[in-house]
Each structure stands twice: as structure tokens, then as C-alpha cells.
Amino acid sequence: MVNNIDLKPASEFITENKPERYIYDVGAGDHEIAISTKNLQVSYGQNLALSEGDLSFERYKITSLVGASGSGKSTFLRSLNRMNDSVATVKGNIMYRGVDINTKAIDVYEMRRHIGMVFQRPNPFAKSIYNNITFALTQRGQYTKQELDEIVETSLKQAALWDQVKDELDKSALALSGGQAQRLVIARALALKPDILLLDEPSSALDPISSAQVEDTLLKLKNQYTIIIVTHNMQQAARISDYTAFFHMGKVIEYDLTRKIFTRPKVELTNDYISGNFG
């Protein structure tokens, strides 16, 4: 399926434990970079879970992070908004709007308003649909009822859930279906008006229809948000993402336009993974 002529055999990468890397240059200037990492290394105790993760993410694009279980995708993703702070040592730079956000001086809670996170399992609060959306806002700011109403409506519309729940905003969010709950959680993240949305396998716990709805939602959102998504679903990565980064053993092995990764990967190991030969 893929022209292998220029590719090295996968065994070389594994035996050398020094994988060939191909990192596409997104090219600041022509393309606006929303966030980038440099010399990022993440250790859990003695376990260096991420050793090479230099990437630049283009604004208003969807980037998928793919790779076998344990390759470091979630570790990388969670580091981007400092979710690993309490469990890991994170070294290196995470540049966002000209600022290294991987420093002690950063107000992590404020930063997370700009860089939101959605997890694998929908985790609505045991509150009404309305209060799920407004909770974080009312904890840290003053809003009128009218402002909150507008934010609830806008966020739910962006997450493609408004039409289904607009007449029952006082209903418990725990009564929503899995797919609806995940879109509520996306709406909750959007209510904070982030720049960047990080999603860790957001549809892997959902049925195919709900998963497709989440994908549609993400495709609509990318006009306004930079989206970085961890996924095990190669079809999903191919369908929705502009760029794909392939992780292996704590390193980014290949990063390129999604269509190139899925048709003409430059590294044999990437080809092996997307062809289903391991993982």
C-alpha cells in the first residue's frame, strides 16, 4: 500500500533504540503556531516516559497524536496544560503566546482557561446541565444571569448539543447519554473560551454514533480552536486531523500532514503502525 523504497526496516529502530525521526516543520510565518514544545522530557520517577517531544501545532488545525499503548501520547498531551505537575517531572519548554508556560511563575489555573482539556470518559459534574457549564466561570468571576445564559447557549451550540437540551437545562447532567455527556464536557471547556482544546481519546468510550457526533463537533470547532487529540482510532485520525504525530517509546518518530502520514510515511515504523502491524 505504501512505497517502502526509502524506508528503513522497523527492526533497526527497535534494536538501535534510537529511532529515525522525521519531524515536519509546520513553518512559523506561513502558518501561525498556537503552541510548541522544545526539549520536552517527562519522567515518572525513574521512568523517562517522554524523551523527545519537540512539536509545533498550527493554529486552527486538528492534530492527532497516535502510537501504541504506553508510547507517551497522553503524557505529552497532559504536559501541555500542566496536568502532569503533581505526578511527573516535566523538563523543557512549552511555548504559548511567546511565554514558556512550563515555569513556576505561571498561574496554572489561568493558563488552563486558555488550554482546556477533555478526558476519555465523560465526566459531567453531579449538577444541572446549566450549572455544569457555568460552574468554573462563577467560581472565578462575576457574571450577570444574562451573560451566563448567553455563554451556556453559545457553548452548547458550539458543542452541537443545544437543540437536544435547550428545554431541559435544569435536568441533571448525569441523565445524559454518553455521547451527550461528552459533548457537554466539551461545551464546559468551551465556556472558558480557550484557544486550545486538548482531548485524550474523547470518543473511545462512546458508541459509533456518539463518536461520529463528537468528530463532527470537532470538525466544526476547528475554525475557532486549535485542537490536539490523542486517538487509537486510525480512521478517526485520518478523517478529522490536518496533522498527525506518531509516538513510539517516548519519542515523536514522525510528524507530518495527515494525508502524508497515511499514504506516504517517511519512516518504516510509522508505516508498520498505521498498517496495524503492531500496537
Ligand X SMILES: Nc1ncnc2c1ncn2[C@@H]1O[C@H](COP(=O)(O)OP(=O)(O)OP(=O)(O)O)[C@@H](O)[C@H]1O
CA distance 172 to 175: 6
Q: Residue 194 or residue 250: which is nearer to ligand X going by CB?
A: 250
Q: Which three cell numbers stand for residue 87?
A: 505526578
**Is 278 near ligand X (CB under 6 A)?**
no
CA Rg value for the chain: 19
Q: Which three cell numbers stand for residue 121?
A: 470518559
Contact with ligand X (CB under 6 A): which of 56, 63, 64, 71? Answer: 71
Q: Residue 45 or residue 98: which is nearer to ligand X going by CB?
A: 45
Contact with ligand X (CB under 6 A): which of 74, 128, 180, 226? Answer: 74
Contact with ligand X (CB under 6 A): which of 37, 63, 75, 203? Answer: 75
Contact with ligand X (CB under 6 A): which of 19, 53, 72, 116? Answer: 72
CA distance 112 to 250: 24
Please count the residues of this chain forming the interface with ligand X, following the rule CB under 6 A. 12
**Is 109 near ligand X (CB under 6 A)?**
no
**Is 251 near ligand X (CB under 6 A)?**
no
Q: Residue 75 or residue 244: which is nearer to ligand X going by CB?
A: 75
CA distance 241 to 163: 26
The CB-of-79 to ligand X minimum distance in angstroms stands at 9
Of all helices (H) and strands (E), which one includes residue 261? Answer: helix 258-263
The CB-of-52 to ligand X minimum distance in angstroms stands at 13
**Is 67 near ligand X (CB under 6 A)?**
yes
Q: Residue 176 or residue 214: which is nearer to ligand X going by CB?
A: 214
Contact with ligand X (CB under 6 A): which of 73, 112, 183, 188? Answer: 73
CA distance 251 to 65: 12
**What residues make contact with ligand X under the rule CB under 6 A?**
44, 47, 49, 67, 69-75, 87
